[in-house]
Structure 1
Amino acid sequence: MNHAVGRAIVNVVRGGLIGVAEVIPGVSGGTIALIVGVYESLIDGAGHLARGVANLVVDVPRGRGARRARTHFSLVKWAVVLPVGVGMLVAIVIAAALVAPLIESHPEATKAVFAGLIATSLIVPIRMAGLPWRVRDVILAFGAAALTFFLMGFAPLPPAQPSLILVGVAAAFAVCALVLPGVSGSFLLLTVGMYAPTLGAVNDRNFAYLGVFVLGALIGLGFFVSGLQWLLANHHRLTLVIMTGLMLGSLRALWPWQDEQNVLLAPSGNVGAYVGLFIAGAVGVLVLIVIELRLAKSGLIEMDVPEKTLASA
């Protein structure tokens, strides 16, 4: 198989994994992007894309041409961003129809699997930040974890029939959550009562709703990603330390035993089976990391995480 075609296929699969995560409340697409090694490439690409579009809108009407926009567009890793984006969109449509009902039917089991996934994936940002960690790093990480744990405890509002203006505003905030590892955009929508309507719009092909949602998401992305891109470029270690804390705190949403108001309950029922599912999720992440490492060594894919980092993980 041609290497370029092979890379495109692998990147579509990477995007598919991210897209599935975005449909699952409590699981962050940013976390999956970290695991599969494309997080920083996507953030960097989104930042340049947003600035390129902004330059295009401002410069062309003023007769300045598209030079600045083309410069930003040329810095986007299109060979990664395009197939990942295609994989995400296809996976979101499929997962909305197949995965979401599975979560509703077996919430404890699915939470146990994804809790194992998230817990094990903490090794990625920890080692990307660099070892050893200082006391300040540990304090910042646990502070971010405590804040996320607290915010994840808010009871969700009943499903709403939101106006299109509210849809756009919610999408702008949800997309900010999408790009932060440990922060789930679906969980945010669930908390404000807009998860079910948004999922219904995907399944029903409500293009008016989806169009406004995408527009709001693009606006939010334009404002938020540039700041995150700057943080990764200028405070790389600090940003990854805080991301680690966000991921740790997000495990609260994946505790298998909680009621509809997100109140944590004591373990009950078939605890052994849930522990087994937790371990299965953890092993799945380790297998995925190993596969990614081998593909990177073969030159089939590029990864944000250095090979020596993953090899020692």
Structure 2
Amino acid sequence: MIKNIISGALIGIANIIPGVSGGTVALLLGVYEKLTESIGEFFTTSKNKKIESIKFLSQIFVGVIIGLLAFAKIIGFLYANYKEGTSFFFLGLIVASLPLVLTHRESKIINKPGKLWFLFGLLLMTTFTVFQSFYGNGDTSSKVYILTGGYTIKLILAGTLAGGAMVIPGISGSLLLVMLGEYYNILGFVNNRMIIPVALVGIGTIIGIVGFARIIDKLLKSHRDNTLYFIIGLIVASLVEIWPGFTLTLSNSITNIIIFSLGIYIVKLMKKLEGNKE
């Protein structure tokens, strides 16, 4: 029980860091196969197996919540006080994740459909960015925010996409939240204990974990390369939104380079550990 809760906490912490995959951490901890089996076969398995799955998933879930609540404040503090450095750390994580996604291809040759799916991902992410510029989000700096019908749908959608990504090794759910422009908003909701928007994201996350992950899994099996190129398109487009600008001083430049390199190192270390586990 304690082991499962600790594993869940580490998965939760991983899911809150853009570029780091909770699925990868689950794989490293040796709980990934049981986790996906418990979720994917829950409605078709026997009663005894259902009870066992509920116990296991409940323990993992408690751990995830602990990890999210504990680490959300740290990330929020760093972004509020060291925005440029925190953004460069995330950029390092994301840039390092690009070649790792490519390693999962079946063919090393990029065909025309692959290029089109990459452009589609790029266009979709750009569309989200433009959409956000016209429709502002809630003010998470205080408990006063505007929860419109459109924003309600967006929060559920964001949770769905993030939830679907959480169970796929190598794909970061929090990275998708960054792409959607909701990452720091959701951190603010969690830190300020805003029940309604957190619940909306939670509903979407459950939908994503149960349903959307199955869809992505099938796509990766039947159209693996095109799906990966689409994901890369999303990631590349997200870099523009994350870019914080650059303060041109010697000390600041060196600090940003070190922090950026640290982000790259962490992703490579995670990949190395994953390879050793396999």
Which 4+ stretches in 1 moved above 6 angstroms?
A: 76-80, 164-167
One-letter amino acid of the structure 2 residue matched with residue 274 of structure 1: N
CA contact (8 A) 2:11 2:25 kept: no
C-alpha distance in 1 between matches for 2:220 and 2:55: 21
Deviation at 1:45, TM superposition (A): 5.7
CA contact (8 A) 1:20 1:92 kept: yes
CA contact (8 A) 1:177 1:184 kept: yes
With normalisation by structure 2, the TM-score equals: 0.69
The equivalences for 1:235-274 within 5 A come to: 235-257=223-245, 268-269=248-249, 270-274=252-256
CA contact (8 A) 2:89 2:262 kept: yes
Deviation at 1:94, TM superposition (A): 1.4
C-alpha distance in 1 between matches for 2:230 and 2:55: 29
C-alpha distance in 2 between matches for 1:13 and 1:70: 28
- Shifted more, 90-99 versus 199-208: the winner is 199-208
Deviation at 1:15, TM superposition (A): 0.6
Question: Aligned in 2, Cα 1:118/1:204: closer, same or farther, shift over 3 Å?
Answer: closer
Deviation at 1:116, TM superposition (A): 1.0
Percent identity among equivalent residues?
A: 19
Q: Deviations over 1:118-167 (max 9, x none)?
A: 11112322111234133333443244235424533543725353459767
CA contact (8 A) 2:161 2:212 kept: no
C-alpha distance in 1 between matches for 2:38 and 2:234: 23
C-alpha distance in 2 between matches for 1:142 and 1:163: 32
CA contact (8 A) 2:87 2:243 kept: yes
CA contact (8 A) 1:145 1:248 kept: yes
CA contact (8 A) 2:155 2:204 kept: yes
CA contact (8 A) 2:117 2:227 kept: no
CA contact (8 A) 2:96 2:264 kept: yes
Residue 234 in structure 1 maps to residue 222 in structure 2: yes
Q: Runs of 5+ in structure 1 lacking a partner?
A: 22-26, 53-67, 258-265, 297-306, 308-313
Q: Which structure has the larger Rg? A: 1
The equivalences for 1:30-49 within 5 A come to: 32-33=21-22, 35-36=24-25, 38=27, 46-49=39-42
CA contact (8 A) 1:172 1:221 kept: no
Match of 2:79 in 1: 103
Deviation at 1:284, TM superposition (A): 1.5
The equivalences for 1:148-227 within 5 A come to: 148-149=125-126, 151-152=128-129, 154-155=132-133, 157=136, 159-160=138-139, 161-163=145-147, 169-178=153-162, 179-180=164-165, 181=171, 184-185=176-177, 188=180, 190=182, 196=185, 198-207=186-195, 210-219=198-207, 224-227=212-215
C-alpha distance in 2 between matches for 1:81 and 1:289: 25
The equivalences for 1:1-40 within 5 A come to: 8=4, 11-12=7-8, 14-21=10-17, 27=18, 32-33=21-22, 35-36=24-25, 38=27
Residue 288 in structure 1 maps to residue 270 in structure 2: yes
Question: Aligned in 2, Cα 1:291/1:139: closer, same or farther, shift over 3 Å?
Answer: same
Match of 1:145 in 2: 122
Note the aligned Cα RMSD (angstroms): 4.0
CA contact (8 A) 2:14 2:21 kept: yes
With normalisation by structure 1, the TM-score equals: 0.63
C-alpha distance in 1 between matches for 2:75 and 2:265: 20
Q: Runs of 5+ in structure 2 lacking a partner?
A: 140-144, 166-170
